[in-house]
């Protein structure tokens, strides 16, 4: 039985197995979505992961941008021209670069909006600078994008890791939770996580916190039990998560499975992964760039329109891309131009924008970070939750109405940005 006779099909089978190995690791190629209009429309390029571990968050970004474009067209467009959104899936940095080039060269977009992965964001920033086309980052958190890798043509609507850390940190300091507390970290092993670990551990240590351990966790990890066993041995006061996307969901569910008593905190919070985990698996205080439970009237209107169109509330990423499109269109309207240099100059001069928050926002001229309020939120008591989307109570706005918006921003020393000329 063990001696074999070579059959004619054997070479083919061997090839098939090789190809299987190759194909099974090919990342899925996204399907481009295009909302086309005719004539000399103003074209906006939208680029964000719609598949992969950030895909579920990216889908919200796409929906937010779509809604903003539709609303603008319903009002008659800008400068008498229709707005056209050309959207692509940037599943990884390499794809992001290719699609950014395609959007700029072939589709002739006036700017790029979107992205979530900081690794892809870095790559898109390079392209934006090279082609001199503005890129409005709506989802990349890494400080490096605003600091050592800052670009004249890159603007940041998304908060930086430092902003997220300082938002929850301001609250933790108020409650005297940091000094002497022992923290165990889990950190996503890519650009975003490393950057976030750097700023969050620095903040805690500066204020007297003790860092017991940090584990770098590969993205797309399906099983956290081994990490959770380590946490159990460490017996920290807090577990600090620097994870994103699906990884956040998976960890939250499995952390509850083991029912450990150590309170959770984290460097960032996106609502979609928390929704996916389900309210019963959530606990603790978190920080948010925007939440659909915000009572600001403009914010409620946005939420209502979004629910009407898509049948579910927007998450914070939908807000980012919605506001991003509106910022671009307002800038075009105010400068009466789609010329990149003029747009950038206008933004650098401190043009103000309605961010659906209590205070208006503007970009810092030296690092292009949008100055804005953030929020501390608390996981809702299940009995008071209206529906599965209703997972947080707003605790406070940071900075409060009296505080300067610079309070949660990295200082110039923390954020070394040497902006290249336009």
Interface with other proteins by CB under 8 A: which residues?
A: 1-2, 4-7, 9-10, 12-17, 19-21, 23-25, 28, 31, 50-53, 55-56, 58-60, 189, 215-218, 220-223, 225-227, 229-230, 232-233, 246, 249-250, 253-254, 257-259, 272-273, 275-278, 280-281, 312, 388
What minimum distance in Å lies between the beta carbon of 209 and other proteins?
A: 21
H-type alpha helices, 25-117: 55-74, 93-105
What minimum distance in Å lies between the beta carbon of 361 and other proteins?
A: 27
Which of 75, 47, 66, 48 has the alpha carbon at shortest distance from 330? 75
Nearer to other proteins by C-beta: 249 or 303? 249
Q: Tokens in use for 322?
A: 């919605």
Residue 52: other Cβ atoms inside 10 A: 22
Give the CA angle between residues 284, 285, 288 to the nearest 5°.
Answer: 135
What DSSP element (H or E) covers 245?
helix 245-258
Nearer to other proteins by C-beta: 1 or 413? 1
What minimum distance in Å lies between the beta carbon of 52 and other proteins?
A: 6
Which residues neighbour 389 within 8 Å (Cβ) at sequence distance 6 or greater?
A: 275, 292, 312, 313
Torsion of CA 271, 275, 280, 282, to 10 degrees: -20
Q: Tokens in use for 107?
A: 């589709």
In a 10 Å sphere around its CB, with 0-12 CB exposed, 13-18 middle and 19+ buried, how is residue 10 labelled? Answer: exposed
Nearer to other proteins by C-beta: 93 or 134? 93
Nearer to other proteins by C-beta: 30 or 159? 30
Q: Report the distance separating Cα 245 and Cα 59, nearest Å.
A: 12
Nearer to other proteins by C-beta: 279 or 376? 279
What minimum distance in Å lies between the beta carbon of 98 and other proteins?
A: 19
What minimum distance in Å lies between the beta carbon of 279 and other proteins?
A: 8
Nearer to other proteins by C-beta: 319 or 353? 319
What minimum distance in Å lies between the beta carbon of 315 and other proteins?
A: 8
Residue pair 156/137 in contact (Cβ under 8 Å)? The answer is yes
What minimum distance in Å lies between the beta carbon of 252 and other proteins?
A: 9
Nearer to other proteins by C-beta: 118 or 250? 250
> What are the two backbone dihedrals, phi and then psi, of residue 212, each rounded to the nearest 5 degrees?
-80, -45
Which of 161, 409, 410, 415 has the alpha carbon at shortest distance from 287? 161
Distance of CA 254 to the CA centre of its chain: 23
Nearer to other proteins by C-beta: 187 or 372? 187
What minimum distance in Å lies between the beta carbon of 55 and other proteins?
A: 6
> What are the two backbone dihedrals, phi and then psi, of residue 94, each rounded to the nearest 5 degrees?
-65, -45
What minimum distance in Å lies between the beta carbon of 415 and other proteins?
A: 27
Residue pair 198/414 in contact (Cβ under 8 Å)? The answer is no
Nearer to other proteins by C-beta: 10 or 176? 10
Nearer to other proteins by C-beta: 31 or 413? 31
DSSP annotation of 181: -
What minimum distance in Å lies between the beta carbon of 71 and other proteins?
A: 22
What is the three-class DSSP state of 251?
helix
Q: Tokens in use for 351?
A: 């043009």
Give the CA angle between residues 171, 172, 177 to the nearest 5°.
Answer: 155
Nearer to other proteins by C-beta: 221 or 369? 221
What minimum distance in Å lies between the beta carbon of 230 and other proteins?
A: 7
Q: Report the distance separating Cα 418 and Cα 395, nearest Å.
A: 36
Partners of 186 in the β-ladder: 215, 241
User: Helices 245-258 & 225-234, crossing angle to 10 degrees?
Assistant: 60
């Amino acid at each position: 039985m063990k001696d074999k006779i070579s059959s004619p099909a054997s070479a083919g089978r061997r090839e098939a197995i090789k190809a299987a190995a190759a194909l099974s690791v090919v990342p899925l190629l996204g399907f481009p979505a295009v909302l086309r209009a005719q004539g000399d429309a103003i074209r906006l390029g939208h680029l964000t992961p719609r598949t992969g571990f950030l895909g579920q968050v990216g889908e919200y970004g796409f929906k937010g941008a779509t809604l903003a474009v539709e609303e603008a067209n319903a009002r008659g467009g800008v400068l008498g021209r229709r707005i056209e959104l050309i959207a692509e899936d940037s599943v990884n940095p390499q794809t992001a670069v290719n699609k950014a080039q395609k959007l700029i060269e072939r589709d002739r977009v006036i700017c790029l909006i979107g992205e979530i992965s900081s690794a892809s964001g870095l790559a898109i920033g390079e392209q934006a600078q090279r082609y001199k086309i503005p890129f409005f980052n709506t989802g990349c958190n890494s400080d490096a994008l605003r600091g050592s890798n800052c670009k004249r043509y890159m603007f940041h609507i998304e908060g930086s890791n430092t902003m997220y850390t300082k938002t929850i940190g301001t609250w933790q300091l108020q409650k005297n939770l940091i000094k002497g507390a022992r923290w165990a970290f889990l950190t996503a092993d890519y650009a975003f996580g490393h950057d976030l670990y750097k700023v969050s551990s620095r903040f805690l240590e500066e204020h007297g916190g003790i860092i017991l351990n940090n584990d770098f966790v590969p993205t797309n990890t399906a099983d956290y039990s081994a990490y959770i066993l380590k946490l159990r041995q460490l017996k920290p006061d807090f577990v600090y998560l620097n994870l994103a996307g699906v990884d956040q969901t998976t960890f939250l569910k499995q952390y509850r499975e083991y029912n450990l008593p150590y309170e959770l905190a984290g460097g960032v919070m996106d609502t979609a992964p928390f929704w996916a985990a389900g309210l019963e698996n959530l606990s603790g205080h978190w920080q948010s760039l925007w939440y659909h439970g915000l009572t600001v009237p403009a914010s409620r209107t946005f939420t209502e329109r979004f629910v009407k169109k898509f049948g579910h509330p927007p998450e914070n990423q939908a807000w980012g891309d919605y506001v991003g499109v509106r910022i671009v269109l307002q800038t075009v309207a105010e400068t009466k131009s789609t010329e990149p240099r003029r747009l950038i100059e206008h933004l650098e001069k401190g043009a103000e924008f309605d961010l659906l928050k209590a205070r208006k926002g503007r970009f810092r001229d030296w690092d292009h970070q949008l100055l804005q309020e953030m929020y501390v939120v608390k996981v809702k008591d299940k009995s008071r939750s209206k529906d599965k989307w209703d997972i947080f109570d707003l605790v406070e706005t940071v900075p409060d109405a009296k505080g300067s918006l610079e309070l949660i921003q990295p200082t110039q020393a923390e954020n070394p940005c040497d902006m290249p000329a336009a």
